[in-house]
Amino acid sequence: MARIADLLAAGPTYSFEFFPPKTEEEKLQLVRTMRALEPLEPSFVSVTYRGGRSSRRRTHDLVAGLLRTTALTPMAHLVCVAHTRLELAEILVDLRRAGIENLMALGGDPPEDPDAPAGELAHAIELVELARAIGGFSIGVAAHPAGHPRSPDLVSDRDHLAAKLERADFAVTQFFFRAEEYVSLVEDLRSRGVPKPVIPGIMPVTSLRSVGRMAEMGAAVPPEMVAELEAAGPDAEVRRVGIELTTRLCRELLEAGAPGLHFYTLNWSTATREIYASLGLGPPAAAAAS
């Protein structure tokens, strides 16, 4: 299995993110999506983690299954919330025993259940340090071009990110919609003496209904982009314009020197495959099939 830090050192990476299914219907959808995306030969894929024992098992089983049964290089997400330090150490050891070398270390959102334990580790940087102590991981962390929603200001957010990334190997950003936001983030980190790779996260807007959800997830769609989508007309045209805008963003990011692209798929494949084809990524056979 490849370590993501090594893949990034060798050249641009192109990757996809999935979430572990809860139901049989979601499982079938994910299988269809992975079958459609695997021929694109992504550098790696990541699997999210919501916290708690049920998500712990789903994430572990999906990542371990990908490692055993596919040619994909998986990365497991892990969050601090709702876990003791001992539980987190147990999870990390279980991942290493399963042969998993790639980890996304996250703080995590506060538990929805008010009675759930907050967890012993307050910040992702502590999880990075714990994973380093366990050993054997290539570690990624999250970055927010506009700042984390719970950060008091952008300066303190960047201070925290720089300290976290110094201990990790790379970062993956929250999705965003303006290339200059990414460029500003990378330049800010470099000015702080942190030149580690920062992979931009990509989320295409394929419907007007999703605009509100994007804001709720921490990255509002810019007004000029919303206006362009609203002017597109029927839903099919909105989708086409959204794909075109996302493809343009990807090109701008790669031209600006981004070390790759990370696509948030939401367990669907079509938009990602269309953007891949437009960018000329993936093996020739897969591009022709698209």
Residue 114 has a pLDDT of 63
Alpha carbons 203 and 272: distance in angstroms, whole number:
9
Helix pair 53-69, 85-97: axis angle to 10 deg: 20
| End-to-end CA gap in the chain | 27
What are the chain's domains? 4-280 (3.20.20.220)
Q: Which helix (H) or strand (E) holds 106?
A: strand 102-106
Residue 287 has a pLDDT of 45
DSSP tag of 37: H
242-252 pLDDT, tens per residue?
999 999 999 99
Contacts with 17 (C-beta within 8 Å, 6 or more apart), sequence order: 45, 46, 47, 48, 201, 262, 263, 264, 265
Contacts with 216 (C-beta within 8 Å, 6 or more apart), sequence order: none
Q: Which residues are catalytic?
A: 17
Q: How confident is the model at residue 215 (pLDDT cuts 50, 70, 90)?
A: confident
pTM over 0.75: yes
Three-class SS state of 237:
helix
Q: With pLDDT > 90 as the criterion, what percentage of the chain qualifies?
A: 82
Is the distance from CB of 116 to CB of 80 less than 8 angstroms? no
Helix pair 179-191, 235-255: axis angle to 10 deg: 30
Residue 19 has a pLDDT of 93
Of the given ranges (6-20, 43-57, 233-247, 248-262), which has the lowest mean pLDDT?
A: 43-57
Alpha carbons 142 and 165: distance in angstroms, whole number:
9
The yes-or-no verdict on residue 281 having pLDDT over 90 is yes
The yes-or-no verdict on residue 264 having pLDDT over 50 is yes
Q: With pLDDT > 70 as the criterion, what percentage of the chain qualifies?
A: 93
Of the given ranges (14-23, 70-79, 171-180, 277-286), which has the lowest mean pLDDT?
A: 277-286
Residue 54 has a pLDDT of 72
Buried b / exposed e along 43-77 (16+ C-beta atoms within 10 A): bbbbbbbbbbeebbebbbebbbebbeeeebbbbbb
The yes-or-no verdict on residue 195 having pLDDT over 90 is yes
What's the rounded mean pLDDT across residues 51-66?
83
The four Cα atoms 179, 184, 186, 191 give a dihedral, to 10 degrees, of: 160
The burial of 110, by beta-carbon neighbours within 10 Å (0-12 exposed, 13-18 middle, 19 or more buried), is given as middle
Is the distance from CB of 171 to CB of 165 less than 8 angstroms? yes
Phi, psi torsion values for 285, nearest 5 degrees: -60, -40
User: What average pLDDT does the chain have?
Assistant: 92
What's the rounded mean pLDDT across residues 46-61?
82
Output the 3-class SS for 120-180.
Answer: CCCCHHHHHHHHHHHCCCEEEEEECCCCCCCCCCHHHHHHHHHHHHHHCCEEEEEECCCHH
Residue 239 structure tokens: 């989708």
The yes-or-no verdict on residue 289 having pLDDT over 60 is no
Q: How many CB atoms lie within 10 A of CB 166?
A: 14
The yes-or-no verdict on residue 51 having pLDDT over 80 is no
98-153 pLDDT, tens per residue?
999 999 999 987 666 666 667 899 899 999 999 999 999 999 999 999 998 888 99
Residue 102 has a pLDDT of 98
Contacts with 9 (C-beta within 8 Å, 6 or more apart), sequence order: none
Residue 249 structure tokens: 């963003």
Q: How confident is the model at residue 216 (pLDDT cuts 50, 70, 90)?
A: confident
Residue 256 has a pLDDT of 98
